[in-house]
Structure 1
Amino acid sequence: MLKRRRIGRLLLIVLVLAIVAALLIGFLIYQWLKPPPPPPGPGQPGTTTTAPSNRPQAQPADCPDVLTLVIPGTWESKAGDDPYHPTANPKSLMLKVSSPLEEKFDRSRTEVYTVPYKAQFRNPTNLADRQASYDDSRAQGTRRAEEKLRKTHAHCPLTRYVLMGFSQGAVITGDVASDIANGRGPIPAADQDLVLGVGMIADGRRQPGGQHDVAPSPAGVGAEIALGGFGSMVPGTTLSGARSGGFGDLSDRVYSICAPGDLICDSPTVNDSLSAIGKLANAAGNPVHALYATTRYWKSNSGQSATQWMTAWASKLISGAPHPEHT
């Protein structure tokens, strides 16, 4: 009887320790993946292939030459935001890219569409946190981005596309681009040439060498790859690992910016939970992720901030895009 009690107590202790470890890892994952609040107040165009012969010679008059699809990061959007005049977060990092493009180009040349979605990240260890989970937020953002692309392509068969995103928005942007490249996306594989470029700032599924890594580019991987072995250990926060099939034939048009030390996109690979806890603990309070609009932690070889580089890159793509006939 005494032996059974001892075994029972031991099992209880092991169970409690396992629960505590899971909660700790969940909290640290939350601290790692969430971006801090925003601070106060150019590459070469990708090559395209010959257009399929079954495309029409012209498209409807209301179609833009280019659709610029922008996906903000965590806490930078809301589900009910206006995609043409987003106001959910006036300090949104992606506004520093989309606003200059809207000012430079006429709506007929490029339609700048900012995907409205929850853009939240619930702390899995805080029962009082009523935000949407990362999985729910990401799913809504992906669904809405795909819906816009699908509807545009159906109505405007000659329109080209520039896709851009930051943080959670970069993950969604990369996921959508990967799906298109691998024949499972909202734009058919035969029309991949319509995608002029894909730009990501702080991609949580980044794999160095899987795309054009804009210098300076660190050697680490995205947090979802570093912690991919934990899968869905934390409820509502699925760590998806690497993208299946990568960017395929689109890889020559995909550009990724990651600041050294930003553990969202520059993480060491984690193989065991004890190592994860130690490395995740060092990520709490990391300020790098919030400052891509400055040159404090990342600047291009020509001295541009990440948002300046992305604006110049997208502007060049839009300026060089074809001018399809309209009916």
Structure 2
Amino acid sequence: MKKTLTVLGVLVLVVILVVGVGTWLSDRGGEVGTTTGAPSSGQVDQPASCPAYEVIAAPGTWESSADDDPVHPTANPDSLLLNVTNPLQEAYGGDATADGANGGVKVWTLPYPAQFRNINALDEMSYDDSRTEGYNRVSAEMTATYEACPGTKFLLVGFSQGAVLTGDLVTGIGNGDGPVPAENIAGVSLIADGRREDGKGTLVGSADVQGIGAEIALSSVSVLVQPIVPGATMRGPRPQDFGALQDRVNQFCDPADLVCSAPRDVGNALQRANDLIAANGIHAQYSSNGNVVPGETVPQWIVNWARDIIDNGK
């Protein structure tokens, strides 16, 4: 029993390390008025200043800040999602205008604390509070856009903590409880989602992912989690799938990434403990790792996916 608890403690510590990727950043270049049944964006008249699409990017832990510029984010120049947002801004009008519209495409990066309090950083905001603030800010941005531009469609991209909060929001939208109707979501891409689960969304590329999201894997050992990561609730699986958006959600996960592919049980953790520790840098490498999606990196795949949707009016 003592050995089991020790290995579980190690697993928790490793997950802490990979949920926040600051150490390896240099290695990679509530209910809101839902309007179910609203007319599709192609049938909605809206001001000419409205973008046809809004790309919303939710960075991972330590890759954003609450006061960052959502149009020209500078909080972390090595942020993974800059490899998605910068190419899209360049493709659709170059420099963004004051409101973020780029020739019909608005690119908006979530400014939020992106912190993760742990025994080595007790002065940081807790994971629960940081994630909740990020969730609320994305929801508010979507609400404001939808109220002014009901025909605008959204492309949502999230990484790590940002993938968790985006996935939570999309679950609500797909099940009729969100800031915009499901039909206004053109697509979603989640990288290293800590609540990733088989059968929820489409796993792109890595067919050999055997594990599950860390929030699910660690939900039964919260007694070990709280002393190490105060305020980080391991909530288990999302209560629903993505509903109407099930076929519009892409999931990306390296099989060795503990955030999205943690061992499913204690026995497996005992067998894989050494492998897990050795693989703790994988979480930081999606912008350079060409093994998740054959022939290209995950950001490259997402940029091409987004451009296909935008260029073809999907």
TM-score, structure 2 as length reference: 0.83
Instruction: Give the whole-Å Cα distance in 1 for the aligned partners of 2:122 and 2:275.
Output: 23
Instruction: Give the whole-Å Cα distance in 2 for the aligned partners of 1:30 and 1:100.
Output: 30
Instruction: Give the whole-Å Cα distance in 2 for the aligned partners of 1:207 and 1:239.
Output: 14
Structure 1 residues 20 and 280 mapped into 2: Cα distance closer, same or farther (>3 Å)?
Answer: closer
Aligned partner of 1:157 in structure 2 is 150
Unaligned runs of 5+ in 2: 30-35, 94-101
* Residue 299 of structure 1 pairs with residue 293 of structure 2: yes
Aligned partner of 2:97 in structure 1 is none
* Residue 83 of structure 1 pairs with residue 52 of structure 2: no
Q: Does the CA-based 8 Å contact 1:294-1:305 persist in structure 2?
A: yes
* Residue 236 of structure 1 pairs with residue 231 of structure 2: yes
Amino acid at match of 1:102: Q
Instruction: Give the whole-Å Cα distance in 2 for the aligned partners of 1:40 and 1:256.
Output: 20
Tell me the secondary structure at the aligned position of residue 58 of structure 1: coil
Q: Deviations over 1:258-286 (max 9, x none)?
A: 111111111111359xx768866753461
1:57 is displaced (CA, Å) by 3.9
Matches within 5 A, 1:39-188: 39=27, 41=29, 52=39, 57-106=44-93, 107-123=102-118, 125-126=119-120, 129-187=122-180
Instruction: Give the whole-Å Cα distance in 1 for the aligned partners of 2:258 and 2:9.
Output: 20
Instruction: Give the whole-Å Cα distance in 2 for the aligned partners of 1:313 and 1:54.
Output: 20
Amino acid at match of 1:101: L
Q: Does the CA-based 8 Å contact 1:211-1:252 persist in structure 2?
A: yes
Q: Deviations over 1:13-68 (max 9, x none)?
A: xxxxxx99998776455235333431154xxxxxxx99638997410222100011
Instruction: Give the whole-Å Cα distance in 2 for the aligned partners of 1:253 and 1:54.
Output: 17
Amino acid at match of 1:313: W
Q: Does the CA-based 8 Å contact 2:15-2:259 persist in structure 1?
A: no
Amino acid at match of 2:132: A
Tell me the secondary structure at the aligned position of residue 103 of structure 1: helix
TM-score, structure 1 as length reference: 0.80
Aligned partner of 2:200 in structure 1 is 210
Aligned partner of 1:308 in structure 2 is 300
Q: Does the CA-based 8 Å contact 2:11-2:276 persist in structure 1?
A: no
1:88 is displaced (CA, Å) by 0.4
Aligned partner of 1:8 in structure 2 is none
| Structure showing greater Rg | 1
Q: Does the CA-based 8 Å contact 1:135-1:238 persist in structure 2?
A: yes
Q: Deviations over 1:190-224 (max 9, x none)?
A: x3111110001111111122111102231221111
Among 236, 258, 264, the alignment partner of 1:269 is 264
Overall identity of the aligned pairs, in %: 41
Among 256, 260, 267, the alignment partner of 2:255 is 260
Unaligned runs of 5+ in 1: 1-18, 42-48, 323-327
Aligned partner of 2:311 in structure 1 is 319
Amino acid at match of 1:63: C
Instruction: Give the whole-Å Cα distance in 1 for the aligned partners of 2:256 and 2:37.
Output: 41
RMSD: 3.1
Q: Deviations over 1:70-118 (max 9, x none)?
A: 1111111000000000000111100001100001013141100001001
Instruction: Give the whole-Å Cα distance in 1 for the aligned partners of 2:139 and 2:292.
Output: 30
Tell me the secondary structure at the aligned position of residue 68 of structure 1: strand
Among 20, 32, 46, the alignment partner of 1:34 is 20
Amino acid at match of 1:219: Q
Q: Does the CA-based 8 Å contact 2:58-2:159 persist in structure 1?
A: yes
Instruction: Give the whole-Å Cα distance in 2 for the aligned partners of 1:156 and 1:22.
Output: 48
Aligned residues: 292
Tell me the secondary structure at the aligned position of residue 188 of structure 2: strand
